[in-house]
Amino acid sequence: MFRSDASLDEVVRVCRGGPLTDGVLAEAVSGLRRKSLVALHGDRLRMLDTVREYGAMWLAELGETRALADRHARHFHDVAAAAERDWWGPGQAAAYSRLSASHTDLCSALEHLLATDPPRAADMAGKLGFFWACCGYLHEAGHYLEECMQSAEASADVMAKLCWSLGVVRCLRGEYRAAAGLGERTRTEALRAANESLLLDAAYLQGLVMLLRGDPLHALHAAERALADLQGAAAARARCRLVRVFALTASGALGEARAEAEALREHSAAAGERWTRSYTEYQLALIALHEERPADAAAHARSMLRDKRAIGDAFGLGLGLDLLAAALAALNRADESASAYGAGQAFWETVGHPQRGTPELGPLRERSQRSARQQIGDSAYDRAYLLATLTDPFTTLNDALKAP
Give the pLDDT confidence of 263-313 residue by residue, as tens digits.
999 999 999 999 999 999 999 999 999 999 999 999 999 999 999 999 888
Residue 352 has pLDDT above 70, yes or no: no
Looking at residue 134, its pLDDT comes to: 83
Q: Long-range contacts of range 365-371, CB-CB < 8 Å, 24 or more positions apart?
A: 365/322, 365/325, 365/326, 365/341, 367/326, 368/325, 368/326, 368/329, 368/330, 368/337, 369/325, 369/329, 369/337, 369/341, 371/329, 371/330, 371/334
Q: Which helix (H) or strand (E) holds 80?
A: helix 65-85
User: % helix / strand / coil in the chain, to the nearest 5?
Assistant: 80, 0, 20
Domain spans of the chain?
1-63, 274-404
pLDDT in tens, 119-129: 999 999 999 99
pLDDT in tens, 241-252: 999 999 999 999
Amino acid 395 reads T
* DSSP type of residue 214: T
Looking at residue 350, its pLDDT comes to: 75
**SS3 of 21, please?**
coil
Segment 100-107 mean pLDDT:
94
State the angle between helix axes of 234-251 and 275-290 in degrees (0 to 180), rounded to the nearest 10: 10
pLDDT category of residue 349 using cuts at 50, 70 and 90:
confident
| Interatomic CA distance for residues 59 and 114, integer angstroms | 21
Segment 173-188 mean pLDDT:
95
pLDDT in tens, 51-91: 999 999 999 999 999 999 999 999 999 999 999 999 999 99
Mean pLDDT of the chain: 93
Looking at residue 353, its pLDDT comes to: 61
CA distances in angstroms from 380 to 182, 270, 316, 328, 343, listed in the order given? 45, 44, 27, 16, 16
| Interatomic CA distance for residues 400 and 301, integer angstroms | 10
| Interatomic CA distance for residues 314 and 325, integer angstroms | 16
**Which positions ≥6 away from 137 have C-beta within 8 Å?**
103
Write down how long the chain is: 404
Q: Whose CA is closest to 87, among 138, 139, 153, 133?
A: 133
* CATH topology assigned to domain 1-63: Arc Repressor Mutant, subunit A (1.10.10)
pLDDT in tens, 3-49: 989 999 999 999 988 888 998 998 999 999 999 999 998 889 999 99
Looking at residue 351, its pLDDT comes to: 72
Looking at residue 354, its pLDDT comes to: 57
CATH code reported for the domain at 274-404? 1.25.40
Looking at residue 314, its pLDDT comes to: 85
